[in-house]
Homo-oligomer: A and B are copies of this chain.
Amino acid sequence: MAKPKEVNLTKFELEIMEVLWDIGEASVREVQEKLHERKRPAYTTVQTIFARLEEKDAVRRTRKIGNAFLFEPLITRKSVYRRLIDQFLDLFGGSAEPVVARLVETGKLTLADLKAIEEQRAVASEPTEGSNRKRGRK
Using A100-B113, A100-B114, A115-B111 as known contacts, say yes or no to A121 and B95 having CB atoms under 8 A apart. no
Q: In the docked arrangement, what's the CA distance between A109 and B94, Å?
A: 12
User: Is A99 interfacial (CB-CB < 8 Å)?
Assistant: yes
- Identify whether the interface residues of A are mostly helix, strand, loop, or mixed: helix
Q: How long is the Cα–Cα vector from A86 to B117 in the complex, in angstroms? A: 21
Give me the interface of A with B, judged by CB distance under 8 Å.
11, 14, 81-82, 84-86, 88-89, 91-106, 108-111, 113-115, 117-118, 121, 135-138
Q: A95-B138, A104-B121 are in contact. List 17 more A-B contacts (CB 8 A).
A: A11-B91, A14-B91, A81-B92, A94-B108, A95-B136, A96-B109, A96-B113, A97-B113, A97-B136, A98-B136, A99-B99, A99-B103, A100-B109, A100-B114, A101-B117, A104-B117, A114-B114
